[in-house]
């Protein structure tokens, strides 16, 4: 069975510091997608990025960047120059193709609570 | 577009009572999901429906039933609520089928959640 591990339960940094959230996944499948979601204090889940197993290119979007390394089964997320509004719980997740040709649901890590102090 | 809507937003049940959580999406998505979120546990998949007319168990299906009423709606039923089912429940949907019906692994769009307390 697949598994996603976010070893950092909580991280607290001062505003403007850079911070990296770690994500390690386990699966025997060769076709899968990885995701990051943000859950702010208001509770909704906000999609941040999706990456398929065949695309190891890193991605940068503004202050956010993601590093996908299949060799270490990791998909880490870095926030540069953090801001108070980045305070949230961040989830890494994995999805596999099921036998019927659809998706069998996301497997989530337990989340990292990021606190950005002013 | 309303996206994914869930009703109710909050609910308190007594042990043994039943209820149905409603979910609807207006994005014409093929796949729909139900998750529960418990403190320190992340989200866990209860049931999913890869397409209209099909449903499958996820990681934690015991105590729940689902119905994919049509392409838009996917309901979750608790037949006899237990305190262990106190949780926040999220419904989600995704396209998941790209060109030629191939799996596209699209992102899931989540509803606002239902906070359920069973006493």
Residue A100 has pLDDT above 80, yes or no: no
Tell me the two tokens of residue A5. 């591990």
pLDDT of residue B81: 97
Average pLDDT over residues A91-105: 80
Q: Which parts of chain B register pLDDT below 50?
A: none
Nearest-10 Cα torsion for A109, B63, B82, A1: -20
CB contact set of B17 (below 8 Å; sequence gap of 6+): B80, B81, B118
Kindly identify which residue of chain A lies nearest to residue B108, measuring between CA atoms: A47
Q: Which of B109, B92, B103, B98 is nearest to B47 (CA)?
A: B92
Distance CA A43, CA A22 (A): 22
Instruction: Please tell me what DSSP assigns to residue B78.
Output: E
Question: Per residue in A37-87, pLDDT tens?
Answer: 999 999 999 999 999 888 888 888 899 999 999 999 999 999 999 999 999
Q: Which residues of B touch A103 (CB under 8 A)?
A: 31, 48, 50, 94, 96, 103, 105
Q: B96 — contact with chain A (CB < 8 Å)?
A: yes
Which of B30, B42, B105 faces A109 most closely, judged by CB atoms?
B42
pLDDT of residue A88: 97
pLDDT of residue B21: 98
pLDDT of residue B51: 84
Q: Which of B57, B55, B61 is nearest to B78 (CA)?
A: B61
Tell me the two tokens of residue A118. 């002013």
Distance CA B115, CA B102 (A): 35
Give B57→chain A minimum CA distance, Å.
9
| Pair B33, B108: CB distance under 8 Å | yes
Least confident among A82-96, A97-111, B84-98 = A97-111
Distance CA A36, CA A94 (A): 9
Interface test with B, best of A102, A110, A112 (most B CBs within 10 A): A102
pLDDT of residue B99: 56
Distance CA A93, CA A110 (A): 9
Q: Which residues of B touch A101 (CB under 8 A)?
A: 50, 101-103
Give A85→chain B minimum CA distance, Å.
19
Interface test with B, best of A105, A106, A109 (most B CBs within 10 A): A105
Kindly identify which residue of chain B lies nearest to residue A100, measuring between CA atoms: B50
Please report, for residues A21, A98, B22, B24, the alpha-carbon distance to residue B9 in angstroms, rounded to integers and kept in the order given. 31, 31, 10, 14
Question: Per residue in A4-50, pLDDT tens?
Answer: 999 999 999 999 999 999 999 999 988 899 999 999 999 999 999 99
């Amino acid at each position: 069975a697949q598994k996603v591990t976010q070893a950092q339960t909580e991280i607290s940094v001062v505003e403007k510091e850079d911070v990296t959230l770690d994500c390690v996944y386990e699966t025997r499948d060769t076709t899968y997608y990885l995701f990051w979601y943000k859950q702010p204090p208001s509770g909704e889940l906000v999609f941040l990025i999706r990456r398929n197993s065949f695309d190891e290119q890193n991605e940068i979007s503004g202050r956010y960047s993601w590093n996908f390394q299949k060799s270490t089964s990791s998909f880490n997320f870095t926030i540069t120059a953090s801001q108070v509004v980045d305070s949230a719980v961040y989830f890494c997740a994995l999805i596999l193709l099921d036998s019927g040709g659809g998706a069998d649901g996301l497997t989530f890590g337990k989340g990292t609570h990021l606190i950005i102090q002013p | 577009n309303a996206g994914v809507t869930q009703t109710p937003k909050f609910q308190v049940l007594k042990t043994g009572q039943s209820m149905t959580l409603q979910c609807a999406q207006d994005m014409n998505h093929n796949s729909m999901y139900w998750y529960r979120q418990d403190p320190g546990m992340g989200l866990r998949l209860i049931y999913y429906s890869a397409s209209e007319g099909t449903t499958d168990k996820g990681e934690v299906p015991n105590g729940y039933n689902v119905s994919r009423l049509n392409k838009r709606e996917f309901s979750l039923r608790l037949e006899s609520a237990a305190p262990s089912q106190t949780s926040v429940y999220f419904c989600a949907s995704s396209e998941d089928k790209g060109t030629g019906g191939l799996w596209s692994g699209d992102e899931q769009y989540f509803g606002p959640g239902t906070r359920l307390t069973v006493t």
